[in-house]
Amino acid sequence: MTLEIANRLVALRREHGLTQEGLASALGVSRQAVSKWERAEASPDTDNLIALSQLYGISLDDLLSPKGATPEDKEREAVLAAAEAWDRAENAQSRSRRNVWKRRLRAFPYGACLPFVYLVLGFAFHLWHPGWLIFLTVPIYYALVEAL
């Protein structure tokens, strides 16, 4: 196996967010075998090459043939890098929004508002007896906030 193919295996594994252990367990081989492939000390057998191409969603030719630095490849890599940067920015923004709402919900004095609700239920609707059940919603509220 050439060093170029070994570097391609490393790049594909990292692109798909896999560790050597994760890839090894997906293929049913040892982590050491994956490490040897990536250091060009050994070559994966045909079954493992097929499994790698299926896992990465590419053909065997694309897996084994070294990609030249053609203008099309550079343009495709630039587009992919821009798309990944855009996705990372969107994900960070949505996580930030979720965290803001979670902090607000966690800081809301839900338990302190319940006596007022209980009194309104009792005086306005004469629901004194079933009204006390609203106090049981305090742990449910905070569990739901944490689950978000």
CATH code for the domain in which residue 43 is found: 1.10.260.40
Question: Residue 70 pLDDT > 60, yes or no?
Answer: no
Q: Among candidates 15, 22, 85, which has minimal Cα distance to 57?
A: 15
* Domain enclosing residue 127, as ranges: 71-147
60 lies in the same domain as 77 = no
98 lies in the same domain as 131 = yes
100 lies in the same domain as 55 = no
Position with higher pLDDT, 50 vs 91? 50
Task: Report d(CA 90, CA 92) in Å as an integer.
Answer: 5
76 lies in the same domain as 137 = yes
Task: Report d(CA 16, CA 61) in Å as an integer.
Answer: 18
CA dihedral 71, 75, 76, 77 (to 10 degrees): 100
Confidence of residue 80 (pLDDT cuts 50, 70, 90): confident
